[in-house]
Amino acid sequence: MMESSKRPWVKFYPEYLQVVTDDLASYSDECVSVVKTAVNQLEELLINPGDVNITSLFNLCESIDGYVNSTSDMANFFELIADNFAGIAQYNKNAGRTTSIDDLCDILTNETIGSEGSFDPWYPMGLVETTNEASPVIFIDGTAHCANMYASTDDDLPALTEAREEVNRLIGVWLGVSSAHSQNQH
């Protein structure tokens, strides 16, 4: 689930996390892919945050900026995130537990937008086409990892600009402030 060879801080209990991954896969492969994509995006944002404020996003007490270069601090941060998934898997459908794997995956795989770039070496492990209309996938030819999450520039490829516009349109539809009729297909 959260094992990664590209960041040294994500190397804890691979066997345990494999069981969590298998548990999520019992719901759907899409659930696993959404989690992997989110973790990869978070890893990238920690290195290249762009306009994203991770401290605010995770409601952290202190700015994470001063801790990004600390392997032990990042291991702790990712372990806390993994523990949320692991706890749900470990106690799935036990009496008294309010959140199950089904609930978690329903939340993660409904009304989410996946995006992959053709230059991103991680894209073969993610979704590259829409398999669930509630969770569209936008494949962006000619871009790298998380390209659509960075601030726009005059040098952006047309495909990247179109992808950002489609993400904005979809979010607008979901929030009820935009029309579904202006739908672009990617």
* pLDDT tens figures, 45-97: 887 776 677 887 777 888 888 887 788 888 888 888 888 899 899 999 887 77
Exposed/middle/buried for residue 80 (C-beta within 10 Å: 0-12, 13-18, 19+): exposed
Angle between helices 29-47 and 14-25 (to 10 degrees): 130
Contact 8, 68 (CB under 8 A): no
Per-residue pLDDT of the chain (186 residues; tens, 9 = 90+): 544 444 444 556 778 889 999 999 999 998 998 888 888 888 888 877 766 778 877 778 888 888 877 888 888 888 888 888 998 999 998 877 778 999 888 888 877 788 889 998 888 877 788 888 878 899 999 998 778 877 788 999 999 999 988 988 887 787 666 666 655 444
Name the helix (H) or strand (E) containing 114: strand 114-117
Contact 67, 74 (CB under 8 A): yes
Residue 108: predicted pLDDT: 81
**Residue 50 Rama label (left phi>0; alpha psi -120 to 50; beta):** left
Residue 159: predicted pLDDT: 95
Residue 180: predicted pLDDT: 67
Domain borders along the chain are 1-109, 112-186
Name the helix (H) or strand (E) containing 137: strand 137-140
Distance, C-alpha 177 to centroid of its chain: 24
Q: Taking Cα atoms as reference points, which of 165, 163, 113 lies closest to residue 134?
A: 113
Helix (H, G, I), strand (E, B) or coil at 40: helix
